[in-house]
Amino acid sequence: MNGFDITGWGMAVPERKVTSVELAERFGVDENWIVSRCGIRERRAVGPGQTTASLAVEAGRRALEKAGLTGGDIAHLIVATATPEQPSPATSAFVHHDLGIAGGAHDVNSECAGFIYALVSAMALIAIDPRPILLIGSDTHTLTANPADRDLSILVGDGAGAVVLQPGPENRVKAWNLGADGSCTGSLKVLAGGSRMPTTEETVRQGLHYAKINGNEIYLNAVRYTVRTVRETLESAKVDAADIDHVIPHQANIRIINSILSHTGLRQEALITNLERYGNTASASVPIALTEALDEGRIKNGDKVLLAGFGAGMTWGSILMEWGGVRK
């Protein structure tokens, strides 16, 4: 099996900040209530002209620049998103055009676990076709949250993160694990707009085009399934949780993240989180945190880096990599 290196990375977030102070005023609660509940002080929200694809293009362009490549060098583009540019065609089609990608393109929708799923897909693709792949996670959940829905509005933010994979001699991935439980489709859902419930005036009137969250169910399942996937990946790699240098979990809620750490034995010092500044950016949360950590020089060659995520559905996954091969 061919290996790969992550040779480029980049991120894009909207300029507009939505602070917890602002949301506290809107919902008639205390800022500290919001922060203690989820650990988020501010999140970014798209403005006019900004979309899932435009953020993806910005992040993708930065990742290509970092890798020293152009769109013409990319054999395949994968965009992970649960908030597509429009129902059809795929978001990757818009990104493909704007970045001048030479090869194919497709979307992955595994909700907030989308980047992990897409990375495993990319890993398999590069094994059978060893050419560069651009992988982007991009979401704009502030547009799917009902502005009157406190539970969701305090959590979500918009953004995109991207990585470039290039074939390499080493197998950097030590183990990975993906899973799903389709009995949990009610935990976080957008009911209208699909084949099961096409959009009508009535669905819009009832606000069924907005996302709805069952926070308690999400909490339990997120902890349960992320703990499971982390344990299975570590067992498969025969690596002890205490030996992980960096863990980048899906940035959903600091309470969920802390619970996952305490139940898996992952070290608090290994945690990379930017939840406080960006909120839950769904498919973008892991690549944004990875980009910031790499730009800050926190991740060094040889470090054991664990990426883990969960999403609505439920979906979950984790990948353990031994970092290396960063090219100049």
Partner 1 sequence: MTLPTIEELASQLEAVSGAQEVSPDAPLQHIADVDSLDLMEWLYGFQNQYPDIPADESLFADLDDTTTLRHVYERILALVPQPAQA
Q: At what angle do helices 285-295 and 114-128 cross, to 10 degrees?
A: 70
Count of residues of this chain found to bind partner 1 when the rule CB under 8 A is applied: 13
Q: Which stretch binds partner 1 (CB under 8 A): 57-65, 76-84, 202-210, 220-228?
A: 220-228
Q: How far is the CB of 37 from partner 1 (least distance, A)?
A: 7
Q: How far is the CB of 181 from partner 1 (least distance, A)?
A: 14
Interactions with partner 1, residue window 20-39 (CB under 8 A):
36-37
Residue 81 in the binding site for partner 1 (CB under 8 A): no
Given candidates 223, 257, 312, 314, which one binds partner 1 under the rule CB under 8 A? 223
Other beta carbons within 10 Å of 314: 26
**Angle (CA) 38 250 61, round 5°:** 120
Instruction: Determine the Cα–Cα distance for residues 298 and 273; give it in Å rounded to an integer.
Output: 12
Given candidates 26, 41, 255, 277, which one binds partner 1 under the rule CB under 8 A? 255
Instruction: Determine the Cα–Cα distance for residues 113 and 322; give it in Å rounded to an integer.
Output: 21
Q: Which stretch binds partner 1 (CB under 8 A): 213-221, 229-237, 269-277, 296-304?
A: 213-221
Instruction: Determine the Cα–Cα distance for residues 188 and 197; give it in Å rounded to an integer.
Output: 16
Neighbouring residues of 77: CB distance < 8 A, sequence distance ≥ 6: 60, 92, 95, 96, 99, 101, 103, 104, 105, 106, 133, 134, 135, 136
Q: Which stretch binds partner 1 (CB under 8 A): 133-141, 218-226, 232-240, 303-311?
A: 218-226
Q: How far is the CB of 184 from partner 1 (least distance, A)?
A: 11
Catalytic residues: 112, 250, 280
Given candidates 131, 224, 231, 267, which one binds partner 1 under the rule CB under 8 A? 224
Instruction: Determine the Cα–Cα distance for residues 241 and 231; give it in Å rounded to an integer.
Output: 8
Please give the residue ranges that form the binding site for partner 1 (CB under 8 A): 36-37, 215-217, 219-220, 223-224, 253, 255, 259, 263
